[in-house]
Chain A
Amino acid sequence: MYELLLGGVENILHLHFLVPLFLGTLVGLIGGALPGVTITMTIIIVLPFTFGMDPLQGLATMTGVYVGGSAGGAITAALIGIPGTPSAITTTFDGYPMVQKGQPGRAVWLGIWSSFLGGLLAGVFLIGATGPLASIALEFGPWEYFSLFVFALSMVAGLTEGSLVKGLLSGAIGLAITIVGSDPIMSVPRFTLGTEFLRNGFPFLPVLIGIFAFAQLMTDIEKMGPADHGAAPLKAPPLTVSHLKVIWEILSRPFLLVWSTLVGILIGVLPAIGGSAATVMAYDQAKKFSKTPERFGKGNPEGIIASEASCNANVGGSLVTIMAFGIPGDAVTAVMLGAMTIHGIQSGPLFVSQHPDIAYGIYAAYLVAHPLMVLICALGARLFLRVVTVPKSILIPNVMVLCVIGAYALGNIMDDVVVLLLFGFIGYALVKFRFPLAPLILGLILGDQIEVNLLRSIMSDPNPWLFITRPISGSLLGLSVASVVFALWQHHRHKGRITEVEDPDF
């Protein structure tokens, strides 16, 4: 394993891969720092640039964006008190007060070094756990896969804020989108309305880009004033600091660092929950375990360490789930899953054994992206503040053009762009009706697999009780029921206190 990893690192350090990884990390940091541009959006923007690359080059770029984006949010969160990405919200709680106390360098670099250390610790888990988890998944038959996917869907739907029924319905809509097109056994066209284009179903990426990008862009547009020329250029304070002192400040709290990292990994491994939940939970835990909880929210370094370590650890956890099971850990990995498919890679338990060069290349890219991230921040953290002042009137049209290129370049056909437009409408409508998007995306990704595994299991043995009597399958279905019951209990407990958010976590 270590030989393969060393080989992967050696490979990634070649300029052929290092340059795209560097650029991906840089763009990720900028996208992460830009308030209103999430990591998902940054990945969508970067995606078409990777179409012409070879698979590892493309995936290294995406990994760089993911790692950089997760850390970039901390810069604006600390310096201007606005989280660049939703997951950096908890960094504002203590980062911004610390800056106001006149310690901007300490606040920003505590965030960056915590991201670095949390990310690297999660990397150890990523490299160590993916293989064994994939081996477990290799023992799965179609019954277990079906139950695993149902469990993933029910858990995501249950964990969404607001209405449980809406979460489940959102997942069902995602599944319904995937039933359009030929059936997997006899290739009988279903719901194609006589069109040849729909015989293969709705193409995944234009649907995903349409739903996510437009839902977010239109939500931004509706808040724009009559002439939004962007904010006045911000002047960044000097960020000079003793790095050794900052690193020691983090390492002298080993329990906090490790615990926050574990929370990040755990939330990352669980499907489609996302980075925000990880940082909020880690921050909450840090406060509970702290000897001085009253200092939280007033510039306490523990708050920044917990938030940022868990944020980047969440990336490692999400990558484990996508590589071992083929299930996206969050919206970002959903787009990455799409990127892998474009490059001809089928993610899942066979991925590591069938494509060790790519798998270990991704591990290596993940590990190398962290020092690159620190290097870029050291060179230009202050410059990122200038970028955040780019007016939305310039940013939004260009993001839309890149969305069109991303959809079109997939098959060089305009039909894909029409699908993007159609799902752009649907995505925005769903947001307006306050449907959570995460279950829909998961349904969309897992729909085909759920159908194939259901049909395979029935064709192997038509006895439906096997779904329950096979131990792993039965346990997973039991967990699905438990997650829905837990969600019902939680909704009942918070009855009247749950508000349906209009701007969901993208």
Chain B
Amino acid sequence: MSENVEQTGCPSFDSISAYLDGEAEGQETAHIESCAHCQRILASLRTLDEVVTRSCQPPEGLSARILAACSADRETASPTIIPFWGRSLVRYAAAIVVTLGLAFAVKQTVGGTSPDHASPTPPSPTIADVGTGGIGPDSNPIDPGMTRVVSADGGNTAPVNVMPVAKRLVTSQVSHVWGGKSLDRVEKDLSAQLPEGAKWGLTRDNAGVSIQASLTDEQLQKLVNGIHAQGYDLFSPELPQPNQEERVKFLGGSKKIIYQARFVNVNDN
């Protein structure tokens, strides 16, 4: 049962809590250390802190998955990168080319009858626009303009202003919520999509159908694609997403992921 904190002469609960964190005032510290009532509250707070800390422990293998994700991100971001300082030069070069091109075009229009321009040279292809390289709608709001990826052909094709899609590992446990117009066929639909020999279970209640399965990341991606193809809509943002294999860094091998899916009825009738 919780200890009653209301006791005459004792510091407030806030102060006892602050004492636990080494943030109490000197005068209060002396009282708390010598008061049996405060000590009992303190003991319950220590137990609480231990329980909360234990319950928030990270999953096993987290560091390895982070390093793999960083490695995958580095591979994805490998195309030619124009560094920040280089972009200014490219912009200046582009501006000069465009200005010269415009000046040439104006001169052609105004002085077109001049014998000097009897056989005008067709305008040469220009870089025209290499993008601002700044904070546009497609730039990353957190790392604005830190890297800019262009095609490896040196920019002779259409301007490119694309941030690489960073691949991510699928987490060790994935929960998805799916919507379907009818849930009668969920079991049959899933049986057709799940790989042979996969461990899975299904429960049905008044509100929908829940499944749990143990799959590799590649099997899970195929399953998600398959469920989507059967006409169900995925409401959850977590990877893997239907037909978006390019966003996932597949580990391969036999490491299993716990997949939990909840199917709910979205029939308007």
Chains A and B form a bound pair:
no
Spell out B's residues near A (CB within 8 Å).
none
